[in-house]
Amino acid sequence: MRTPSVVRVTTTATRPTALTPARELPQVIGERRLAAALWCAGLGTFALLYAPQGLLTDVSASLAVSPSRAALLVSGATLGLAASVIPWAWLSDRIGRPEAMRVAAVASAVLAVLVPWLPGFEMLVAGRFLQGAALGGIPALAIALVHDWSLPARAGALAGSYVAATSVGGLVGRLVSVPVAQHLGWRLGLVAVGACLTAVMALLVFLLPPGSPRGRRPHLEVGARRPSQLTHLRAHLRDRTLVALFCVGGLLVGGLAAIFNYLPFRLEAPPYGLAPTVVSLVFLTYLAGTVGSRLAGALSDRWSPRTVLVIACSLMGVGAVVTLARPLLVVVAGVTVLTLGLFVGHAVAASRVGARATTGRAQATALYTVVYYAGASLFGWVAGHAWGLVGWVGVVGLVVALAAVALMLVLSVPTVTRTCAASGPAGS
């Protein structure tokens, strides 16, 4: 007796079309909830990740460590995040992306209020590494979650919205921690950020969608084998376009980490002599990233992702050079241009990775996240030695070199335009 075909066809993950009939309205409503969850994810993760960045001068003085060692409070967390994303991708394949992100959110909230109280610099760095590892489950899975749950025509816009939220999160973490630290000390400054973001993480846990996305079938056919995570990782690492996108993200964010880690040391010293609270206002330049990441999808649709990535790399290099000027307003303008370049480039690269990886998407976005935060950790730390050797000129030289290498990678892989644009969601 022949088995009905409806039973045999169980592996295809169907995707909804841009035309949404009335019966698919729950999916559209779910996307609105998903957009709110992504904002909580980006805001909470990056506020916690970068909260110490505006406090590095205080930490350096309080614990008697060099600027490059103080920066390990940021680099340690980003390194922990980079090290954790592959395990988070593995976990998400077994319990689902929303559930894995819930676990990450709860663990991050608990560590956020405990880590600042750890004694000694080495213990603090170790605690920040663990905090970054807990946070890693959120950015590692967010873009994959977008492509799993959204309509194809909306995926690019949602990815850009998430990246915009990361820029707001980075800004909030710095703006909250520094004023509190000026009155109560840097430890309480970090605790204040942790307490505020615990509420955001709780909201994220509530807003994340339950179960599996509509249209995804959970079981394989009889006799079929699920590709292993290692198989997906190997396939992605053989894809020149994906590898180029991974590296572009890591190089660009490495430049941003270098600038923001050591900019407070420059602005609090002569000839500026600014107070830490005033210096923290420079982080308002992150708003340029918020705008840029929201525009990235539309720009890619109009000019192609490759063209937008070329512009982003160029903005990074030009913005870094502008910060060599003496007038404070010109320095701030340069930082604004540089920040705009990073977030435009990151939004496009992250979205293209999620769109190109039609199989093993969690592993592809995890690899992008690994390289992205490894770049932030490595180059944020290396810039400290450049600062110690030749000052701000050394930091700028490093950032220009990183932007140049990223630009060469984009130009060397023409399929960043052709293949990704063909497979990616509209408007991204």
pLDDT in tens, 279-317: 989 989 988 887 887 788 778 778 888 999 999 999 999
428 belongs to a structural domain: no
Q: Give the model's pLDDT for residue 153.
A: 64
Q: Find where tokens 């996307």 sit.
A: 31
Q: How many separate domains does the chain show? A: 1
Q: How many residues does the chain have?
A: 428
Domain assignment present for 17:
no
With a cut of 70, say whether residue 416 has pLDDT above it: no
Provide the pLDDT for residue 211.
Answer: 61
pLDDT of 291: 84
The tokens for 137 are 């489950």
Q: How confident is the model at residue 18 (pLDDT cuts 50, 70, 90)?
A: very low
pLDDT of residue 215: 40
Which tokens in the block code for residue 238?
A: 């053989």
419-428 pLDDT, tens digit each: 343 333 333 3
Model pLDDT, residue 360: 80
Is 4 inside a domain boundary? no
Cβ atoms of 83 and 166 within 8 Å: the answer is no
Higher pLDDT, 15 or 397: 397
404 vs 161: CA distance, rounded Å: 27
Separation CA 74–CA 320 (nearest Å): 20
Neighbours of 78 (CB within 10 A): 28
> Is residue 105 included in any domain, yes or no?
yes
**Is residue 223 pLDDT above 80, yes or no?**
no
Q: What is the pLDDT of residue 180?
A: 94
Going by the DSSP 8-state scheme, the letter that residue 213 receives in this structure is: P
Query: What does the alpha-carbon distance between residue 16 and residue 30 come to, in Å, rounded to a whole number?
Result: 13
Phi, psi of 260 (to 5 degrees): -75, -25
pLDDT at 355: 79
Instruction: Let me know if residue 3 belongs to a domain.
Output: no
Q: What is the pLDDT of residue 414?
A: 64
146 or 376: whose pLDDT is higher?
376
User: Whole-angstrom Cα distance, residue 318 to residue 182?
Assistant: 33
In a domain, 9, yes or no: no
CATH no. for residue 284? 1.20.1250.20
Query: Are 193 and 176 spatial neighbours (Cβ–Cβ below 8 Å)?
Result: yes
Segment 75-94 mean pLDDT: 89
222-230 contact pairs (CB < 8 A, 24+): 224/11, 227/359, 227/360, 229/86, 229/89, 229/90, 229/93, 229/360, 229/363
The mean pLDDT value of the chain amounts to 83
Q: Give every CB contact of residue 244 below 8 A, 6+ residues apart in sequence.
A: 409, 410, 412, 413, 416
Residues 193-209 have pLDDT tens digits of: 999 999 999 999 999 98
CB atoms within 10 A of CB 418: 13
* pLDDT band of 158, cuts 50, 70, 90: confident
Decide if 83 is inside a domain. yes
> Residue 410 pLDDT > 80, yes or no?
yes
354 in a domain, yes or no? yes
**What is the extent of the structural domain holding 312?**
29-212+229-423
